[in-house]
Amino acid sequence: MKSVDDNWIGRFINKYWKYVFIAPMMILYLVFFMYPMVQGILISFTSWDGISKIKHFIFLKNYINLFSDKVFLQSTSFTIELAAVLISFEVVIGVGIAVLLERKIRGNGFFRTVYFFPAVLSGITVSLIFSQIFQYGIPQIGNSLNINSLKLNPLSNHTGAFIAIAFVMLWQGVALPILLFLTGLMSVPRDVIEAASIDGATPAQVFFKIKFPYLLPSLSLVFILALKSGLLAFDQIIALTYGSLGTQSIGLLLYNDAINSFRFGYANSMGTLLFVVIIVISIIQIKISSKYEVEQ
């Protein structure tokens, strides 16, 4: 022991240990996270193309242009619609399956494993698989059952593509909400439910009056997770449509604008706008969920 602490390295570490301990993590974090983030925000006030040496400061012009840019507005409305669909279905399907999995039936551990499985797969693999199912599988079902709406590849018109993207994102996206709602349901004290059913409460009353409040913390968490996955959607869209058919999410538009259209500053103003939106929503969510915790 003594030999280690006595040499100069040991003495140095003991004296400045807090800085030595924090340095590796902070150096990487500052270089590859904070510095690019600050730069991204600063670049959003310039007309930089991503290549040239000079950056022209144009103040809020990028932001003003955003609000009259048809492509951006279309992409925003698509992204918001997608987020809204993800939020509502993740909540409804999540609560529904969680209620079923909470029942004491044989094999519910097995079902839990199966239902969570999609969450461990890569979004790219899943989207590529589904893009082939949409292209050849769906039309074959439509033709053999003679259902007109299924005879075409869903990825050939806007509505079909929207449903297809939302479906693939939900296929993976409901796994975590199911578990979160299940955790909420399991935290309901058993004796309260028993007392209620002895007093003659119907299962529906038990669910809405007793269990539901325990779901609220998970609800606000699922809301924010689904919203973020919708606002930042990238992998599924690049693999399914590459943003064609009016399905260009903001995340993909931003990439295309910077890399393919050389509008680096402009693209960064979209990113910064997303940042502001997510900060505001996160603060609201934290406020709301801390209120629940006090009430419980």
| Interacting positions 183-222 with another protein (CB under 8 A) | 183, 221
- Residue placing its CB nearer to another protein in the complex, 115 or 162: 115
Q: Which of residues 73-132 bind another protein (CB under 8 A)?
A: 97, 100-101, 103, 105, 111-126, 128-130, 132
* Min CB(158)–another protein separation in Å: 23
* Number of shown-chain residues binding another protein (CB under 8 A): 89
Q: How far is the CB of 226 from another protein (least distance, A)?
A: 12
- What's the rounded Cα separation, in Å, for the pair 154 and 136? 10
Tell the residue number behind the tokens 């402009």, with chain if given: 266
Q: Which is nearer to another protein, 57 or 117 (CB)?
A: 117
> Near another protein by CB under 8 A, which window of 13-21, 67-75, 77-85, 151-159?
13-21
The distance of closest approach from Cβ of residue 285 to another protein in the complex, given in angstroms and rounded to an integer, is: 11
Contact 209, 124 (CB under 8 A): no
Crossing angle of helices 158-173 and 70-102, in 10° steps, is 40
- x/- mask, another protein, residues 14-53, rule CB under 8 A, reads x--xxxxxx-xxx-xx-xxxxxxx-xxx-x------x---
CB 224 within 8 A of CB 277: no
Q: How far is the CB of 184 from another protein (least distance, A)?
A: 10
Beta-bridge partners for 57: 46
Closest to another protein by CB, 20 or 195: 20
What is the C-alpha separation between 205 and 108, in angstroms, rounded?
24
Cβ neighbours for 221, distance < 8 A, ≥ 6 positions apart: 180, 289
Q: Taking CB under 8 A as the rule, does residue 288 contact another protein? A: no
Annotate each residue in 157-186 with x if it binds another protein (CB under 8 A) or - if it does not, as one string.
--------------x----x--xx--x---
Rounded distance between C-alpha atoms, residue 224 and residue 243, angstroms: 24
Helices (DSSP H) in 67-122: which residue ranges?
70-102, 108-116
Residues numbered 231 to 270 that lie near another protein (CB under 8 A) are: 231-232, 234-235, 238-239, 250-251, 254-255, 258, 264, 267-268, 270
Which DSSP helix (H) or strand (E) runs through 188? none
Residue 159 and residue 167 in contact, taking contact as beta carbons nearer than 8 Å = no
DSSP 92: H
Q: How far is the CB of 67 from another protein (least distance, A)?
A: 19
The interface with another protein within residues 46-65 (CB under 8 A) comprises: 50
CA-CA distance, 254 to 46, in Å (whole number)? 15
